[in-house]
Copies of this chain bind each other. A is one copy, B any other.
């Protein structure tokens, strides 16, 4: 089957999407790194724990919520445990599983970092979009996630 190349219009869209996909993580990362000494991924993980019941999640659940592989998360959780932001607790019900719990120090860290992070997200995303465009963003992102995340694990609050 011959390759169906991108049209000029599609290429235009692709270059913009690609730019966002490359530049947005950098912007998030450098802000939170400078202001809180965390990577954006670390912040996201702490934030998910903060919102979870008992401030606790299994490794696998946390990996799903943060769009990460288990290997990546495992390294990050070890470092954050060393820094006192989380505890690792063997799961009582299942000897294979590990529960990760946010510590008080971890909770304080997220709370301190949150305002700056939200401000960055507002600056780069919501400040420049109309309410209608926010709706369009949801629809378009959902469409792409049907392929990127076929099981629909990354769509909380649908």
Q: A residues engaging B (CB < 8 A)?
A: 3-6, 8-25, 27, 44, 66-68, 114-115, 118-119, 121-129, 133-134, 136-149, 154-157
Residue among A9, A27, A123, A143 having the largest count of chain B Cβ atoms under 10 Å: A143
**In whole Å, how far is A25's beta carbon from the nearest beta carbon of chain B?**
6
Q: Which 9 A-B pairs have the closest CB atoms?
A: A16-B141, A22-B67, A23-B148, A3-B115, A128-B143, A19-B154, A136-B136, A124-B147, A13-B138
**What is the count of identical protomers in the complex?**
2
Known pairs A10-B126, A16-B141; list 12 more (Cβ under 8 Å). A9-B134, A12-B138, A12-B157, A16-B137, A17-B125, A18-B44, A19-B154, A20-B141, A21-B25, A123-B147, A125-B144, A129-B144
With the chains together, A144 CA to B125 CA distance in Å? Answer: 6
Q: Which residues of B sit under 8 angstroms from A124, Cβ to Cβ?
A: 144, 147-148
> Nearest Cβ distance between residue A157 and chain B, in whole angstroms?
5
Contacts of A17 in B (CB 8 A): 24, 125, 137, 141
User: Roughly how many angstroms separate A18 CA and B8 CA in the complex, as a whole number?
Assistant: 27
Could you say which residues of chain B place their CB within 8 Å of the CB of A139?
133, 136
Closest to A120 in B: B147
